[in-house]
């Protein structure tokens, strides 16, 4: 009998054990968040400043996951070009991954899935503001393991609106993943500049 496991209930240790995942800390594994980042225009910076101001104001009140997606994620995806060809957007997309060795099945729902030519290329798992990203990372990695093109990397972004971290996953041969540094809106500088530039870089690398 197949046992169904919800991705949201898995710890990082359990995800690594079930999928044979290993963390790759070599800087050369995930250059997309560090190298050849595109410059932002002054108009884009002004928009990002407004996004930060909006979020910080709204975060003084209870903020749901839906508000985080509306106020922060949606405009970021627009600036990065994910609402234009060749990309498409799906929301609340169900995933199911069979683990035949253990007769288990991991299930869950991806918040936002960006597709390019039927390929899963970017997973965004947003958590309510105030929730730790530690809870979202194993869930996002589980979803990214469902990519149907193991020869290509999968990218992820986990956020609670205030903090952001990028993930990269390669599932060929030995599955490996890597993290970016942690970005936060609590700094004096606007980390949304870096986040938008990385999203643009990821869009460029997977859009060709």
pLDDT at 62: 84
Q: What is the C-alpha separation between 116 and 154, in angstroms, rounded? A: 12
Q: What is the C-alpha separation between 157 and 180, in angstroms, rounded? A: 10
Lowest mean pLDDT among 39-53, 103-117, 130-144: 103-117
Domain boundaries, the chain: 15-92+110-206
Question: Is 76 within 8 Å of 89 (Cβ atoms)?
Answer: no
Task: Give the end-to-end CA distance of the chain in Å, rounded to a whole number.
Answer: 43
State in words which class domain 15-92+110-206 has: alpha beta
Q: Would the pLDDT of 193 be above 50?
A: yes
CA angle 152, 158, 159 (to 5 degrees): 155
Q: What is the C-alpha separation between 188 and 112, in angstroms, rounded? A: 29
Model confidence pLDDT, tens digit, residues 90-100: 776 666 666 65
Give the residue-averaged pLDDT of 167-188: 92
Q: Would the pLDDT of 121 be above 50?
A: no
pLDDT at 106: 64
């Amino acid at each position: 009998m197949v046992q169904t496991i919800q991705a949201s209930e898995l710890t990082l240790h359990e995800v690594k054990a079930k999928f044979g995942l290993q963390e790759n800390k070599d800087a050369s594994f995930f250059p997309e968040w560090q190298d050849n980042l595109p410059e932002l225009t002054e108009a884009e910076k002004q928009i990002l400043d407004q996004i930060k101001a909006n979020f910080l104001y709204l975060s003084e009140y209870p903020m749901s996951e839906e508000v985080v997606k509306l106020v922060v994620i949606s405009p970021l995806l627009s600036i990065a070009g994910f609402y234009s060809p060749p990309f498409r957007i799906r929301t609340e997309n169900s995933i199911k991954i069979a683990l035949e060795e253990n007769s288990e099945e991991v299930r869950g729902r991806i918040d936002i899935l960006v597709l390019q030519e039927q390929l899963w290329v970017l997973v965004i798992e947003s958590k309510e503001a105030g929730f730790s990203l530690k809870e979202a990372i194993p869930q996002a990695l589980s979803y990214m393991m469902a990519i149907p093109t193991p020869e290509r990397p999968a990218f992820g972004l986990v956020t609670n609106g205030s903090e952001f971290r990028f993930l990269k996953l390669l599932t060929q041969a030995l599955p490996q993943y890597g993290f970016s540094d942690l970005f936060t809106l609590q700094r004096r500088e606007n980390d949304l500049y870096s986040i938008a530039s990385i999203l643009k870089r990821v869009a460029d690398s997977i859009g060709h």
